Amino acid sequence: MSSSSLVVEPAATSLEGYVGFDTITQQIEKKLLKRGFHFNVMVVGQSGLGKSTLVNTIFASHLIESKARLAADEPTRQTTEIETVSHLVEENGVHLRLNIVDTPGYGDQVNNENCWEPIIKYIKDQHSAYLRKELTATRERYIQDSRIHCCLFFISPTGHALKSIDIVVLKKLSEVVNVVPVIAKSDSLTIEERQAFKQRIKAELVFHNIKLYPYESDEDDEQEQALNESIRDLLPFAIVGSERNVVIDGKPVRGRRNRYGIINVENEEHCEFIYLRNFLTRTHLQDLIETTAQIHYEAFRAKQLLAIKESTHPGSSQGNFAVSSQSNLNDGHSHSIASSNNAKSPTNSSHAMSVSSPTIDSPA
Ligand SMILES: Nc1nc2c(ncn2[C@@H]2O[C@H](COP(=O)(O)OP(=O)(O)O)[C@@H](O)[C@H]2O)c(=O)[nH]1
Ligand SMILES: [Mg+2]
């Protein structure tokens, strides 16, 4: 660290024989494949908008039960209960642990004031748990990641505008998680209605200064920037989900039959499901995970560590680390972050450097 020799410009030198370090990518791949991957998705939106169905359609398997109210006289849920299901899926030797966090009951009440709080709290709790694990003396080499990588936000296909509750919740969510909005059940709108609705939503998002994933980044090359631009253009994805097959030209496809005819979920002329799936699984899966760690978690972490620093600063009356992860929630719930004597300073963060290890030493 003290030597400046590593900072000088290296000389480009050609090799005189095969050394073999080009295999490092295969070595990394082997390790990663052995460990497997984690992807944590949350779905938010009113009951009956097709959240469970969409998740099952995206991952081509039955992962969560559809628990829509069957009868109109069944009571709606009283609270936003958060339910998690976990599945291990495999594709060509790649193991993916898929955690799906369902938030039934959001926005179902007559009075939806603060209905988002349990959702935001859940997201922050995962960050807090990760931070606690990261700060223990004998931290695991590989911390299990329960942080939400992607929040699919379901917009009701009213064709009019966003509900005011949606605007509030989108704003809150987008500050703590990668939010991907979708127009639910878009088969209930004509293509023209859908386009007009989409443009209105876009205008509202701009007006309310709601910044959605994928974010603009200087690190992206031209190709990545163009891809992200095309994704931002598409948002919110107008989707249709289905767990049933319908037969089109003699072939069974995921689809629905409605009053306009047959909808093939995977036909881009019918809806934008395929764009959403490609985006989530084929082009941005890794980036969603990385962005969660590097942007959302990092912001949470920096804030928490600064709070610890404040609370342990000489002159501060208390020497303990009970730091609330709920700074802008009002349920009074707080988390005590376990810290340790030899907590290492983190390796992957620039924010962290400004709150280096001495400040997270344990009190006697
Ligand atoms: N028309 C239409 N119906 C859908 C769509 N997705 C789901 N549904 C139906 O809507 C009902 C509620 O779906 P569900 O996935 O349980 O909604 P959730 O409560 O948001 O999880 C079910 O009867 C689904 O078959 C869709 O894209 N279009
Ligand atoms: Mg459901």
* CATH code 3.90.1860.10 for 35-106+113-294: no
Which amino acid residue places its CA nearest to atom 24 of ligand 1? Answer: 50
How many Å apart are CA 97 and CA 169, to the nearest integer? Answer: 28
Give CA–CA dist 259/313, Å, rounded: 67
Do 346 and 353 meet the contact criterion of CB atoms below 8 Å apart?
no
Q: Which of 343, 298, 303 is nearest to 325 (CA)?
A: 303
Burial track 218-252 (b if 16+ CB lie within 10 A, e otherwise)? eebeeeeeebbeebeeebbbbbbbbbeebeeeeee
Residues 143, 174 contacting (CB under 8 angstroms): no
The rounded distance, in Å, linking the Cα atoms of 4 and 153 is 49
Query: What's the gap in Å between 190 CA and the centre of ligand 2?
Result: 25
CA of 261 to the centre of ligand 2 (A): 25
The pLDDT value recorded for residue 93 is 93
Let me know: does 337 contact 303? Beta carbons within 8 Å.
no
What is the DSSP code string of 287-308? HHHHHIIIIIIHHHHHHHHHHH
pTM for the predicted model, two decimal places: 0.82
Domain ranges of the chain: 35-106+113-294, 301-356
pLDDT of 260 reads 75
Strands annotated E in 69-217: 83-91, 94-102, 150-155, 179-183
- pLDDT number for residue 278: 96
Q: Quick one: pLDDT at residue 248?
A: 86
Please list the pLDDT of the chain residue by residue as tens digits (364 residues). 445 566 788 899 999 999 999 999 999 999 999 999 999 999 999 989 999 999 999 998 899 887 655 555 555 555 568 999 999 999 999 999 999 999 877 777 777 778 889 999 999 999 999 999 988 877 777 888 999 999 999 999 999 999 989 999 999 999 999 999 999 999 999 999 999 999 999 999 999 999 999 998 888 999 999 999 999 999 999 999 999 999 888 888 899 988 778 899 999 888 999 999 999 999 999 999 999 999 999 999 999 999 888 888 755 544 444 444 444 433 333 333 333 333 333 333 333 333 333 333 333 3
Q: Does residue 53 have its Cβ closer than 6 Å to ligand 1? A: yes
CA of 19 to the centre of ligand 1 (A): 57
Largest CA distance in the chain: 79
